[in-house]
Structure 1
């Protein structure tokens, strides 16, 4: 008997309300995605979890809560299942004191960073022939799944993309990035520890819930102990690792807005009713942003060769 495959999703929007880092469009991004997943892609609303940092919310999108929700979704997955994670919020580049490379990271509501190493560790537990698609509308999001193959990235930039950075609509926008020094200052205000070592602050505040690179040196990570095989991780990033993604304000009072990349994805899906591959989605989103004069934000695609041309959020046959 053939067991029906499932579709599951986690949607996370962080606006950081009442902070100096407040954004306008992240809640709108994931609410719009919720509607598209259910209406177009056939997700059961019961299997779509939503975490937003709305004041008074029951479950906030903290680093620990995001990882727990992802672990739960991956733990329930079977071969052939489709898993989807959409994050809209701040991103940053951070360098652990014992590492020679910078880690791309998303910034949860409590600043307990979730890094590319954490996402690699999560993807390593996705069952064979299940897919994990990660759409990240955040700054420095290129490469957010560590060691994933670049399909569309810095090498794909066109010469004409290097000029200008204005939104043709005239709406104001801001980058979804928080400088490392600002993160350290924020964490210092919570720990009262005088050090520029971010790992010290994260371990003091979050202990075992801190990101993997701040808890163990890179050579001790489980995924470093054996060669990485082609996997089912698929990353659609709002920009390259060295770029920023835009949060756009669309009303005079600034109360409404959207992420430029999330909105571009919505436009691409609305204008193309036939199935699109992951590669097509990213290329069309790039073109959409270019037409809106976001010349310095280049969406990227990271995955194995087969998944680059697989249908976006497609469902494989599940053989028992």
Structure 2
């Protein structure tokens, strides 16, 4: 199998014609595809896009997203670069008999993909390959739990908050809304979201709800998470003036602007997040603080670059 491959899955969920509709997520991943090909040298055949546009041949359901990610990891070898960009809703869920809330992304069919799924996925990445996740959704600071927080919480006084000049919508679906939706499908009186998800999706439901996860130690060098906001914050779906008033995710657009403003410059993961924070502050999204979770080595590694070989 070819080594040194660059593979990507880009997922945009707008949830059209629903109360949860967003408008910029398709634009986010289409713009990212162009950047991956023209700037980072990705083969177009290795960049897969899943968007919930009416008529799409493959929809971004939970099962389809996980199947594509698993296939990408299965094909990975030493020296490969794997990239997952998600733009859509996120949520915080409370698993049954647990006091800790867990992060999850919300595919178009609401078949939640949880931090447990991402933890197991990243744990399978071969040694010497990298897996970068750019998540433009709410409450996804711990999406690959156990990774080290390199750029984390940031607080500002409430009186320092200014209203963004552009209309925006939080990319969040409250857990209670999701629970009510599945309760109406299953007709089960239960506050355990896992009971409903397994009833509706069977073995395609999250690993969190199917069995006790295998607690293997996570390989610290493979997982890199660039999160659009802190766990307790929401990310924004917005129209940006610099974007020609095209709907977009505020974080996805900020990353695009960082890359555009630094043509030809090799930016580290740390620089991408810090510069994106500055752009969001200028745009008055000063209650949305992108974060970085990875090893120290990967924090200072070039964004979407192959792993550096250790010195002899």
Residue 8 (structure 1) aligns with: 7
Q: 2:213 aligns with which of 210, 221, 227?
A: 221
Kept in 2: contact 1:124–1:231 (CA 8 A): no
CA offset at residue 192 of structure 1?
2.5
The equivalences for 1:31-70 within 5 A come to 31-70=30-69
Q: Say whether residues 1:237 and 2:232 are aligned partners.
A: no
Alpha-carbon offset, residue 199 of structure 1: 1.1
Q: Following superposition, which runs of at least 4 residues in structure 1 exceed 6 angstroms of deviation?
A: none
Output the CA distance in 2 between the equivalents of 1:17 and 1:28. Answer: 14
Give me the TM-score of the superposition, normalised by structure 1.
Answer: 0.91
Residue 146 of structure 1 and its aligned partner are, at CA, apart by 1.4
1:279 paired residue among 246, 270, 287 = 270
Matched, 1:307 2:298: yes
Distance in 2 (alpha carbons) for counterparts of 1:179 and 1:210: 19
Alignment deviations for residues 269-312 of structure 1 (CA, whole Å, 9 cap, x no partner): 00012010000000000011001110100000000111000000
Which residue number in structure 2 is paired with residue 88 of structure 1?
87
Q: 1:269 aligns with which of 255, 259, 274?
A: 259
DSSP-derived class of the 1:234 partner: strand
Distance 1:196 1:158 in 2: 33
Deviation at 1:158, TM superposition (A): 5.5
Provide the rounded CA distance (Å) in 2 between the counterparts of 1:305 and 1:288: 24
1:182 partnered with 2:177: yes
Q: Output one character per residue of 1:227-284: Cα deviation in whole Å (capped at 9) or x when no partner.
A: 4442310000000000000000369xxx940000000000000001201000000000
Task: Assess, with a 3 A threshold, how the Cα gap between structure 1 residues 82 and 162 changes in structure 2: closer, same or farther.
Answer: farther
Q: In angstroms, what is the RMSD of aligned CA positions?
A: 1.8
2:113 alignment counterpart: 114
Q: Structure 1, residues 111-166: CA drift from partner, whole Å, max 9, x if none?
A: 00001111010000001010000000000011111111100011xx2646873152
Q: What is aligned with 1:151?
A: 150
TM-aligned CA distance change 1:185 to 1:89, over 3 Å: same
CA distance, structure 1, for counterparts of residue 87 and residue 219 of structure 2: 29
TM-score, normalization by structure 2: 0.93
Aligned to 2:166: 171
**Length, aligned pairs only:** 305
